[in-house]
Structure 1
Amino acid sequence: MTLRDRTLALTVVVLWGLNFIALRSGLDHFPPFFFAALRFAVIAVPVVLLVRPPKVPVRWLLGYGLGFGVGQFAFLFWAMDSGMPTGLASVVLQSSAPFTVVLGALLLREHLHPVQVAGLVVAVAGMTVIGWDRAQHAALIPVLLTLLAGLSWAFGNLSNRLAATDEPMRLMLWMCVVPPLPMFALSFAVEGPTAGWDALAESPGAWRALAGLAYTALLATIVGSGLWTALMSRYPASSVAPFSLLVPIVGIAASWLLLHETPSVWSLLGAAIVIAGATAATPRVRRDVTPAHLDLPAPAAAAMQVGDRVGTVPDSGRGNSH
């Protein structure tokens, strides 16, 4: 990956790591399935009215929305509402990275180089250290639910990849149209027909929940998922997915600072191992290879312009190692 695309991937890491704090604010006030439906509904309504659908097969759009949107957030919010600590959730959810790489190799025939495999193993080992340390204070069911969320995200990644669109931002936005109806139906069946709307009408604590909703809809979904969709459409899944292993580092640090979830020495050690492994698992390409155009939101477009200027600097002799 080029320097600019690595920078964009790290931007997604920060946005998604902080997103766990926003999710906790929302889940402290709203029922989990209703909050998941609301998260996507506030995006879906203007998208249907204002944005042209992407030219992709409907099956891949539905697969992306059902995997990334419905499956991931139904299981994740259910887990967090059932007692999954915020920092631990940010760790276990990154199981999507090895799930994506393995499924990409099995289903899409993507080739894995030995260095990628070794780096991925190291990163998963670091994630395991963090998970083992934190899981001592968590029940088993929330951990399993979060693993199912990671698996759902992986299937969404593959559908995104198979869509092979040159309009990744439109794909991401229309992906948000898929989850609201299934999630509202699930909320109606499990949480009751009025539980979510009653919480929406309650004023005590509502402002924090609504602030969390705004962050997760605008920054985490539109900007973060938009960048992620663009990168997944440009590179093999095995090149992009390992970056998500860095999200727990931001998630744990934010939970420590804002929610007073103090990380242990083992968690910090595991975080360092994750960073090393994810770096090794991400292949490099020559700077003189021009990436395909990425259809990005305004903040991402500005970042790309900066990356273009940085990309003119020689690469100190470091070529395409793969």
Structure 2
Amino acid sequence: MPPRHVLLAVLVAVTWGLNFPAIHLSLQQFPPFLLVALRFAVIAVPTLLLVPRPRVAWRWLLGYGAGFGVLQFVFLYLAMDTGMPTGLASLVLQSSAPFTVLLAAVLLRERLTVRQGLGVAIAVVGLGGIAVHRAGLDGGAALVPVVLTLCGGLGWAFGNLCNRQAQADSPFRLMMWMTVVPPLPMLALSLLVEGPATIAASFHGLTTPTGLAALGGLAFTVLVATVVGTGLWTWLMARHSSSVVAPFSMLVPVFGIGSSWLFLHEPTRPAELALGTLVVGGVLLGSTGRRTLAPPPSSAAERRTADPAATAPAATAPAEPA
């Protein structure tokens, strides 16, 4: 890639890494399920009014929205709300990559290469080590947020498969229309679990420092990480092979952990950093070289985009950022 495109790819990784501290700030004001509903509702309304619907089957659009939009963020936001360290969340969410490879092999009968299998195995060892390490903290209570984050990675992987099956004519429009799926079910879940009183209370004090920081975090998540970050990533994927662009998403945990330390003063234990290196290395190993889930060459570059909210270059080239 030319240097300008390299800088753009790094910029995307920076925005997606900063997305995790932004989520942390928003969770200081809003309950997690309501926050997910707000995050997607802000994009869904203009999407319905302004963006043409992509030519895809409804089942894949709904599946993409359910996996990526609902399941991923229900578990991720709940994990961060119940004590998952912000930087570590950006790392553990990389589990979406090995989950995607394994689900594709089981559900789509895609052949798993030796390289991919080795990468999955290394990533699983790293994730398992993090889980064991966290299980020894706080009487085992620290393990629950890790498990929730892994469930978020599994939801993202399910969304990846639906995105792959959709074979959209415009991946950016598919991403925008995916945001139409989560708001109503997430609002219903928030009303049921968090309750009207908690929801109403979260809108009080929005002019306080905490409230303004929460609104700023939500704006960053929606406008910068999702719209700008995804737009740039899609543009790069359309001009370069995924094997060249996708590894840049491995910088997301680096910026996620670094920004959490810088802005939130959140330390990451050396053991977790070492185990995280295994996760990143395994994901990178499995995402380079031959790809078994590549769509037809005529549209491969168009259909491959990756996620923010945390993002891993799985063998399927994840469809957009967390």
In the superposition, the TM-score normalised over structure 1's length comes to 0.78
Conserved 8 A contact 2:250-2:284:
no
SS in 2 for 1:193: helix
Matched, 1:116 2:137: no
Counterpart position of 2:278: 273
Counterpart position of 2:312: none
Q: Offset at 1:239? A: 11
Conserved 8 A contact 2:26-2:218:
yes
Conserved 8 A contact 1:18-1:250:
yes
Counterpart position of 1:174: 177
Counterpart position of 2:302: 294
Q: Per-residue displacement from partner, 1:18-69 (whole Å, max 9, x unpaired)?
A: 2110000000111111111000011011111111111100000000111111
Conserved 8 A contact 1:242-1:281:
no
Residue 232 to residue 77, structure 1, CA distance change in 2 (3 Å): farther
Once the two structures are superposed, the pairs formed by residues 88-107 of structure 1 within 5 Å of their partners are: 88-107=88-107
Matched, 1:45 2:45: yes
Aligned equivalents of 2:234 and 2:176: distance in 1? Answer: 10
Q: Per-residue displacement from partner, 1:192-217 (whole Å, max 9, x unpaired)?
A: 22433432242222110011001111
Q: Offset at 1:254? A: 1.8
Q: Offset at 1:71? A: 1.0
Residue 115 to residue 295, structure 1, CA distance change in 2 (3 Å): closer
- Percent identical residues: 55
Matched, 1:250 2:255: yes
User: Structure 1 regions of 5+ residues with no counterpart?
Assistant: 298-322
SS in 1 for 2:196: coil
Q: Which amino acid letter does the alignment assign opposite residue 142 of structure 1?
A: P
Q: Per-residue displacement from partner, 1:233-271 (whole Å, max 9, x unpaired)?
A: 999999999876654333222222222222233233234
Aligned equivalents of 2:38 and 2:228: distance in 1? Answer: 18
Q: Per-residue displacement from partner, 1:257-309 (whole Å, max 9, x unpaired)?
A: 22222223323323433343333222347xxx887553899xxxxxxxxxxxx
Aligned equivalents of 1:132 and 1:182: distance in 2? Answer: 34
Aligned equivalents of 2:101 and 2:195: distance in 1? Answer: 38
Moved more, 26-35 or 128-137: 128-137
Once the two structures are superposed, the pairs formed by residues 156-175 of structure 1 within 5 Å of their partners are: 156-175=159-178
Conserved 8 A contact 1:94-1:247:
no
Residue 78 to residue 134, structure 1, CA distance change in 2 (3 Å): same
Residue 238 to residue 109, structure 1, CA distance change in 2 (3 Å): farther
Counterpart position of 1:86: 86
Conserved 8 A contact 1:95-1:151:
yes
Residue 268 to residue 88, structure 1, CA distance change in 2 (3 Å): closer
Matched, 1:60 2:60: yes
Q: Which amino acid letter does the alignment assign opposite residue 94 of structure 2?
A: Q
Conserved 8 A contact 1:115-1:280:
yes
Conserved 8 A contact 1:36-1:73:
yes
Matched, 1:17 2:17: yes
User: Structure 2 regions of 5+ residues with no counterpart?
Assistant: 291-296, 306-322
Q: Which amino acid letter does the alignment assign opposite residue 195 of structure 1?
A: T
Once the two structures are superposed, the pairs formed by residues 102-251 of structure 1 within 5 Å of their partners are: 102-137=102-137, 138-202=141-205, 203-204=207-208, 205-225=210-230, 247-251=252-256
Conserved 8 A contact 1:91-1:130:
no
Conserved 8 A contact 1:97-1:245:
no
Q: Which amino acid letter does the alignment assign opposite residue 163 of structure 1?
A: A
Moved more, 248-257 or 213-222: 248-257
Aligned equivalents of 1:105 and 1:12: distance in 2? Answer: 29
In the superposition, the TM-score normalised over structure 2's length comes to 0.78
Q: Which amino acid letter does the alignment assign opposite residue 124 of structure 1?
A: V
